[in-house]
Structures are given as C-alpha cells and as structure tokens.
Structure 1
Amino acid sequence: MPGKESLVPRIVFYVYAISTIIPCCMTIVSLIPTLFDISIYLKPISTALSIFGVLLLTYIFYIALNYIRLHKLRFSDFINRSEIVVSDKISEIDASSFRAILEIMGNRIRRIPRRTSPIFIAPLVSVLYIIGHVTVELASRYVLEITPEAFLEFPLSSEALMEFVMYTTTMSIGSILLLVSVILCIYILHILNRDLYELESIEDEMISTLRPLASKIGLKLPYREVNIAKRNTILYAILYIVTLGLFGVYWVYRVAIRDPEEHVKEDYKVYSELPKILAITPQ
C-alpha cells in the first residue's frame, strides 16, 4: 500500500511559492500611488511569474488529486481482499465480525463522491488563468491607450464608443475567467482536504477494530502521531482574499503537500504491521 516517498519534490513547491509571492507583492506595490510608475515596468515580470506559478500549481494539484484517487481505489481493493488470519487465538466468529465491519467501511468509501479526473480538472486551472490573465492584460492596455483621446471630443464618436465597449467587455470576460480559476483552486483544495480526511477516518476505524484482535496474538498496532485536520474552507478562502493571495501559498502547502505526505508516512507505519494479522486474497 503506502510508501515513504514524498509526493511533490520540495523544490517544486519552493519555486511555486516564489513565483506566487513576488507577483502578490508587486500587486501590493502597485496600490501605492508613489510607486505606481515603478510597478508598470515590473508588470511583464509579474505576469511571467504568475503564469509560471500557476503551471507549477497545476502540477502540484495533479499529483495530489491523483494520489487521493489512487489511494481511494487501493484502499477499497484492500478492504475487499482482506481476511483475518484465523488461528487458535482468533476464531472464525472474530473473522466474520471483522468482515462485516469491513463491508460497512467499503460502503463508506463508495459514498465518497466521485471526482472529476485529475488530468482534466488540474490543467483547467492553468487554462482559465492564462486565458483570463492575458485577455485582461491586452484589453486593459488598449483601453488605457484609447480612453484619454477618445473622451476629449464630445459627442463621443460611435466608432470610439464601440471600441471602448469591446475592450471593456473583453476585460470583463477575462476577469470572469480569472475568478473562475480562483474558485476552481479553492474547490480543489477543499476536496483534497475533505477526501483525505474521510479516507483517514475510515482507516482509523479499521485499525481500531483490528487492535483487540491484534492484541490476542501479541501484536501492537501503532497509533497515528499526526492526523489530518478538517480545515475550514470558508475561513481559508477569506484569508486568501484578505491577503491578496499570499495565504494561498500556505493553503497549498498544507493541503496539497504536507497533509498527503504526513498521511503516507503514518500509513506506512500501520500497514507494515497488517500482514501479521491480515491475509490478502488474490484477485
């Protein structure tokens, strides 16, 4: 089942964090009137870093989502094929009772909502963000160019008005795409936390059921030292907005990187002991 390796290389997260924090800081700088002119020259760098950061985020999301998907499938298969090893200390009645409990747990796993494939939903974040960002950048550039000249003459010519409306509409569409991209990120972080939390709770219930049986043969199953927390998505989303996206770096680290890694390490300690009491029937 689980291994001890890291899911996402740390260097990937560090580069993502830098690529996200710098543009956020540049955005904050642009809000200061005295530094606005400087921020204009830094805009291309900010845009390039933002796009690069989102591409790395897509990779992180894909790895985390795919891990949850595979973990769910493997855990379900593990439950379906696990049998208590009957011995002079563990009776057939014990084995039958445990089998019934496993069936209940299997039903709980099946009740976890099926999610969209990681290969589709993760890249969608980048696609929406890049199209939206580029659209807003290009449209805003043209709006800033035509507005001072177009509004000097009254009445405003129909051609200038149509051009202005077209670019502002394009900016609005791009802004909507950016908003959808952010909402999709929040949704992905939400389901990562909820699904892993639910899977871990089912695993813990299975291990708790096994402990009395394991003690009969002198086996002590280890306890988890670290448990996945059920995080408040609404609170985290508010913090993300208030900090202009800076909190998102921690959110991604905690939910998409640290939580899965800790879960893998804790699972490894437990599952390495299970073959001493469980037999896995062949497929």
Structure 2
Amino acid sequence: MRDEGTDNRLGAYLRARRELVTPEQAGIPPGRNRRVPGLRREEVALLAGISPDYYLRLERGRDRNPSPQVLESLARVLRLDDVERTYLLDLAAPRPKAPRRRRPEQVPPRAHQLLAHLQIPAFVEGRAFDVLASNAMAVALSPRLRPGRNRLRSFFLDPEERAFHHDWEKAAAGFVAALRTTIGDDVDDPRFVELVGELALSSQRFRTLWARHDVRALDGGTTTVHHPVVGDLRLHRDKLPLDDLILVVYYPDKGDDSDEKLRLLAALSPAGPGVTAPDTTARTTDKP
C-alpha cells in the first residue's frame, strides 16, 4: 500500500474523491477541454471557501492539520455521506506514535459450539476477511467459505465467485470499500499490506476500485446468489461482533422459496447442517 501514499493519506483521499464529483453535481458549467476527471483543485477550494493554495497544500501533504470547519466544508463539496465524512475526519486526526500490537486472531471455543448449533450458513471472519471457522451449511453454500480461505482473495481471483454473485460488480465495489474501512489507520499492518499488494498485482478491477478510496459501513444487507445445485437464493446477511472477530450469518425469509432451497441444501450436505468445519489457527494461502 506504500505506493498510494501512506504518508499522505488525507491528500490521497481528497484527490480521489475530487475526481469522482462531476462539474454538474457541483453546479459548475462543464465547459470544454477539461483535462482532469471530476473537479479541479481550484474549484474545490472555491466551493469550500478556502484559498486554492491552501487546498493544494492539503492534497500534497504540506498541511496535515486542517480545522474541523475546513473538513466539513470539503465533505460538503465532495458530496461525502456520513461514513465517508467520518473517515475524512479520522484521516486528519493525530495518529498514535507507537504501533498497536494486535493479538493473533483465534476463535473462542464457544463460537465453535454456536456454529455447530446454527442451522443456517454461518462463519467467523477476521479483520482482513480471513475465514477462521465455518459450519457445514456455510461450506455447502460456498466452498470458498472453508476455514483458511480469504473471502476478498476468493472474490477477485476465483472465477466461480462471478457466477455465484448476481451483481458481482456492485458486490466488488462494496467489498473493497469495506476493506478500506476495516484497515482504518492500520496501513502498515503486514496482513493488510500483503493482501492489498497481492490483489493489486493480480486484479485490474481491484486496482481500479482501490484507487477510488471508497469507504462503507461494515454492516449486513440482502444479497442474491446463484448456487450450482439449488439455484438462486435471496439471503439476508448479518454481521455480529464476536470479541475482535465477526460472526457472519446468512438466512432467508421464513417460508419463501429461498427458505425451501436452503432446507434442500441442508439435506444434501453430507456432514449435516450443524457440524462445524475444522478451524485453522494459522492462515493459509488459498488457491482458486
């Protein structure tokens, strides 16, 4: 991640977001022969009520302590939502001098017991979307949810993921934005550096989305997936905190077509719906 300017994350974010706002969105006549995507620096400065020179210093990292008032004005001009606005404010906040040491990601024993009792697809993931534990229903839904796999790596490098997601492009954008939110200010964390570096080298789509600097809330939602055996499934996805990890569950509306298909999938699963897949404490490099 060093090549995107980890020492000037505020400037990189401002530049990326500026390029995504069209002149029409900002109320500026588009004109002709515009050489930059989105807004020019001087246009952002004018709309935010600051000098062009000061905005240039912000983008180039020469001034890293803008006031909250300036940041709020920039958030308005750049059309940031609440999550993006909070991210912008955090970028300008002082970073701790000493790097934080995180404990190794280990699934507590009670989580394995919980997974074994759940009759719906469920798994535990770490901060970098490593699958640390899963139940048989999760593996029956997607073999990429086995412990030891990395969901982000599978998503961009495994061709079967494109067929699995009905709207792969939308899901891809949300996944990368969630990764950037998860990273926060841990830009030097070796696991994140390794993962982002590998995906940036291997996937053009990941590189494009990563350059947008999108962020999004780490919440659930509803998705439609295509299972090769039972067909389309419309599933709700919830993410529940589990110490420093996340428990992810997928479930359908009670009594609808997807509910019936999920029951069929459980019946077809050789291990049965409640058997916990073996946990791997050490991360493995999954191969598509």
Q: Structure 1-normalised TM-score?
A: 0.23
Structure ranking higher on relative contact order (CA contacts 8 Å, 6+ apart): 1
Which structure would you say has the larger Rg? Answer: 1
TM-score, normalized by length of structure 2? Answer: 0.22
Higher helix share: 1
